[in-house]
A and B are shown apart, each in its own frame.
Chain A
């Protein structure tokens, strides 16, 4: 029995169409023109309780719009959506108690007060008594490694500390379904890892269902076995992460630095030439030929430095969409 299900979910926005410049502004003021933008189109999927699902797509793909429809912030233009047995846009109290939404770019904590004060407000809102609230705060603060930060005004916290406090505030009512929109945005690598571990831990302890969007591939690989890929409002891929990496990134990126780089054409037999920046070169090499190619490069050229990595997620996704490879 899926806990989240969407069938033919669509959202159309009406946006103003304004030309740049003063002329455009004046025209826009007197004769306002608008056009419809299809933000999400016919998206269908189901998620089982306890799953951690990554929600991927380039900027403007419709990820956030979909999350907002799933949390009931906006009305779908068409299609059906059911979360925890409720229609989200009705915003029944019973539904809202079961979900939470964390947005990396928006904050709910009161800026001038320590997080603890905001937490007390949230406890009152969700009808959690003081003893229970304290117990939960202690548990979550332990998992998140938060201590005296909770009694310091939010404006004095670092971004990482604030994000952890935001997570605490969002999870105080122990929701069964977590919608996370870029929860690690702007955090340094350590803080990202801490948040990731926390989410995995929370999922294990409470069997919570998690739907997560992130620009950091590391978040997705660490947490999600299943991913949904969305582009221009349409669902392009729904399946295992392994399947996605194979499909999307059958190549690995080899970056190397040469003392005396020859023209680009010289690399045709090694892999797909990506770019050259002075002595720095980038090649895409099929995974299966990686070892052989790297040894040939080292043997054939005067290599100063060499590094192998997965291409950035945006680039992988971009390539997929340019190729039109659709599942």
Chain B
């Protein structure tokens, strides 16, 4: 089913040929901009919150990777929830014998984030090697698990925010604010003042998105953080499901 979903959305995307070029240029420009800002922060040598230039690049690589996943799957799907509620076409989703959260979260797929995923991955590998990390199998596995939980956390936050459109109808701006806040994940969380660090760990779990997986890749991961990350991810996913079921009770379906 997923294959067919994505094949049709790919086809729909390719209907507009010029978009392909524009999106590719945007990805390249974005990454170049991020690298430039980071290089300014470091200037001549030095460190950022106890992270060396190469180590910080791992964090940036993770951010780029997650941002790519966001553009590929999260953004195209979750932004349509709002449209569905506005137009009342959520009706058709709810009438299908498929889990509505699954449909809304996996219905489309946009290839434009894939260059970001590739660039982020390459950056992580190169930067980790230059930082002197010699990851063994267990470290790589831990990093992958952490990356998966980052994605789940990010997804759940976004989904819950998009689901509030059932009450407020227009939450487009709110999801943009979330995406902007997540830009904080470009840099190691320890680079921020204590108050912000606490906020990014416990309120908006940005720390779990990039910093924690980066530490695992660099061989500085610890079992408690791995566990905490998994717990946070499971909690967020469970919460988003419950929240969706709760929200649907209030769905009134735009009049036809």
Contact = CB atoms under 8 A, between A and B. Distances in A.
A121 B256 contact: no
A93 B103 CA distance: 14
B92 A108 contact: yes
A125 B11 contact: no
A141 interface: no
Nearest to B15: A112
B91 A73 contact: yes
A124 B91 contact: no
Contact of A103 (B1, B12, B91): B91
B13 to A, nearest CB: 9
Interface in B1-30: 1, 4-5, 8, 11-12, 15-16
Given A106-B88, A125-B97, A120 B255 contact: no
B95 A113 contact: no
Nearest to B5: A121
A36 B148 CA distance: 46
Contacts of A120: 4, 8
A113 B5 CA distance: 13
A93 B5 CA distance: 19
Interface stretch (B191-199, B222-230, B245-253): B245-253
Q: Which interface class (under 10, 10 to 19, 20 to 34, 35 or more) fits B?
A: 20 to 34
Contact of B8 (A103, A107, A118): A118
B111 to A, nearest CB: 15
Contacts of B15: 112-113, 153
From DSSP, what is the main secondary structure of chain B's interface residues?
A: loop
Given A73-B251, A74-B251, A153-B15, A110 B97 contact: no
A110 B8 contact: yes
A97 interface: yes
A152 interface: no
Nearest to A117: B8
A99 B89 CA distance: 17
Contact of A113 (B11, B249, B251, B252): B11
B94 interface: yes
A241 interface: no
Q: Could you say which of B4, B88, B95 has the most chain A C-beta atoms within 10 Å of its C-beta? A: B95
Nearest to B89: A106
Interface in A241-286: none
Given A73-B251, A96-B97, A106-B89, 14 more contacts: A13-B252, A73-B95, A74-B251, A93-B97, A96-B96, A97-B97, A101-B95, A106-B87, A106-B91, A112-B15, A113-B12, A113-B15, A124-B5, A126-B97
7 contacts: A74-B253, A112-B16, A113-B11, A117-B8, A117-B12, A125-B98, A126-B97
